Structures are given as C-alpha cells and as structure tokens.
Structure 1
Amino acid sequence: MYYYSFLFIIILMMILLEPGKSEVYTVGDEEEWNSDVNYGSWSHKYNFTLGDILVFKYSKNEHNAYEVTEASYQSCDVSNGNGVLAKYESGEDEVELSKVKKYFFICIIAGHCFGGMRFAINVSNVTAVKIPESEPNPPSKSLSFTFAGCQNWNLLICLVASGILFKLY
C-alpha cells in the first residue's frame, strides 16, 4: 500500500512540476555584437545559468566571436590558435552555456578586442536573484513565488507530497 502511494506521489510531482527554463540572450541586446557596446556592463545585467543560450548577431565580414581561455581574453591574443576554445563566424551564432564555469568571449578582428568587444561571464547551476539598482515596483496583488522548484499552486502540492512522504517513513 505504501509503495503505491509513494509511486503515485512521485509521478504526480513529475507531471506537475515545471522543469527549469533556459533563457536566450542576444549579446549586446538591441545593439548586438559590434564595437559600439560596453559588454562589461551588458554581461553584468544578467545571471547566466546552465543551459542558457547566447546569440551573437553581427555582420559576418566585420566581426566574429571566439570563446577563449582567460589568458587569451586578458591579452586579446589568439595567434597560432593558442587559447581558442571555439570559433563562431556565421553572424548568427548560438552558443549554449553547457558547463558551469567562467566563459570568455572576444572578437579577434584587429583592434576590436582591446576596443571593447570582449566579455566574461560566470555560468552557475542555479538562478540567482538579481537586486534591482532602481526603486522596486510596488508588490502586485497576486502572490507569486518559487520554493524548491515549485511555483505558485505547485507549492501546495509539493508541501502535501513532502508531508505524506515524511509520514510514510
């Protein structure tokens, strides 16, 4: 009897709980990947997590995007292919952030990297809460929150299921 209750609760939780959602970020937002953007400021606006996707949009003959090592990022030097982890040169490149690590991206066209076409991001395994720099909006009338992967009414189901599991064992 307990086995079937346990199995039912696990199946119910799997059906009702939404998996984490990946975000898609266009590098540079509306300005895209070009030499007129402060990518340090751009990259600090977001919390990048595992599975997110960076989209590099640029004129193919004018720019490129390379993932490089930290040393190549600091020196803006990838001569002889040293420090290059991945090359993106299509003008519409999508890069999945598939590892929890620090990523470094540069444009290797002469003068572009030192001119500001580079940024580094930390990719984490969980979504962090970003504290707004301006005054927060007043709270909405509806209650919306997340707890242990459960959102809104799913929270009630998680709590009930957890309580039942706790009583079973």
Structure 2
Amino acid sequence: MKTLVLVAHPNLSQSVMNKAWTERLSSTDHVTVHELYKEYPTGEIDLEREQALLLQHDRIVFQFPLYWYSSPSLLKEWQDVVLAYGWAYGSSGTKLHGKEFMLAISSGGPASAYQAGGFNHYSMSELTKPFQAMANLTGMRFLPTFTAQGVRTFTPEQIAESAKQLADHVVKVY
C-alpha cells in the first residue's frame, strides 16, 4: 500500500511536533510526504500534479496542526482546487473511490479541552466532521484519526514517541 501524506503547516521549521512527524514519515517505507506550504509558497496549486499524486497512492493522510478548529488555509485551498466536481465527486467523479483517508492532527490544547464541558466544548471528532463528509462524498473510507494533543507540554521523548506512533498508525492495515 502506498500512502501520501499531505503536510499542511505554514511554519513547519518552527514546529516541534509536525516537524518530528514529517521527518519520521519521510523515512517510512511506502510513504510519500508532500509539504504543501513548501511546494506552493504563493498558494497557487498545480491541479494536474496533485491529482496525479492522489491517483498514485492508496491511502491519503492530511497532517496539520489544528488552526481555529480546522486546518491551515492552504489545505482548504488544496481541497477546493484538487477535489474537483467530475473528478473527485459527482456522477462521474469517481477517481478517489476505494481509497483510504485519515487525519493526523496536533493541538496545543490538551485532550480534556476538546470534549463536552471542556474549554472548547466540542470533541476532535465533532470538529473534524467536514473532513469525514469530504471522505464520504469522494468515496474514500475514513480511517481512525491520529491526534497529539497538549503538544506544548511534550518532552523531546514524548515527541519522538508520538512520531513513531504516527508512522505505525499511517501504515497500519485497517
């Protein structure tokens, strides 16, 4: 199985967690890491290149830090451009049917903040419903999300362990 990881972090070099995840995944067999902000610093996405990458892989992963209860803006732009009607959805939009899809999300706030009665009032599952709906609309199977929450307090050992766990999660057979 070939996996494509779309990394969407506007300041990856400044990130502790997403940088560690990206480095670990880059050395994982059968995983292609594609850094959107590095590839598209002006925000102009190459539709044909991105669609070709999707077709070459069996599993698609969106990796990002939680920004205002969603993904960084370039990932949303990527969705708007690449997941076109007639290609990714619609009566003839079947190119992604049968592929697998998962999320890898980091948050500065702890898991306890993302639940009913918590600081943010909503669970991570509730906040990621639009991504689940995207997977459904495009015919992809939504796999369990990988999260690292409270990353501001992680030790270097916890960061390394999270990167290992993510790599295992991304290649796991579901």
TM-score of the aligned structures, taking structure 1 as reference length: 0.25
Flag the structure with larger Rg.
1
Name the structure where helix makes up a greater proportion of residues.
2
Name the structure where strand makes up a greater proportion of residues.
1
